[in-house]
Amino acid sequence: MKFNHKRLLLLISIISCLLLSCSQPNDKSEEIISREEIIGMASSQLPPEVLSKSKIYTYFDSEQSTNGIWQVYFYGFNTTREELEEFGWEEGENVSFGDSDEYHGVMIYIDTETRCILSKRAFFIWLGPGPSEVS
């Protein structure tokens, strides 16, 4: 009889541990890379004079990949395609420019796990809902 009692206690302990581990919040965005690190990485993609005039919004999208993607939106500045190209931007698969030669916004996408810049987009104007503001 004691043998069954010990098995029952062991089973209850195991189930309790499993339930507790499953109930823990799973916010990989903060574990893998912080908002400040993401802003620093994205900021390195802009000329200093653009960065100094920019306002910044960030948004974490957990649905775009296994570990999520950070979107960093810089806005409130004036720059040209030429200035961005001089800073190293080259239009291609992961870099795009809007239909104008003048830009007031840039969106940079960063993979949370690999910390790779996935894409960069320059906009004349941002048409869409704003991501959450960084304080």
Question: pLDDT by residue (tens digit) across 37-65?
Answer: 999 999 999 999 999 999 999 999 888 77
Inter-residue contact 91 to 61 (CB < 8 Å): no
- Helix or strand or coil: residue 114? coil
Which whole number is the average pLDDT over 14-26? 46
Mean pLDDT of the chain: 79
Which residue do the tokens 């996408």 mark? Answer: 109
CB 120 within 8 Å of CB 87: no
pLDDT tens for each residue of 66-118: 778 999 999 999 999 999 999 999 999 999 998 888 999 999 999 988 889 99
Q: Where are the alpha helices (DSSP H) in 1-135?
A: 2-23, 28-32, 35-43, 48-53, 81-86
Q: Please state the pTM of the whole predicted model.
A: 0.69
**Confidence (pLDDT) at 1:** 47
Burial (CB < 10 A; 0-12, 13-18, 19+), residue 12, is: exposed
- As a whole-number percent, the residues of the chain with pLDDT over 90 amount to 53
- 12: helix, coil or strand? helix
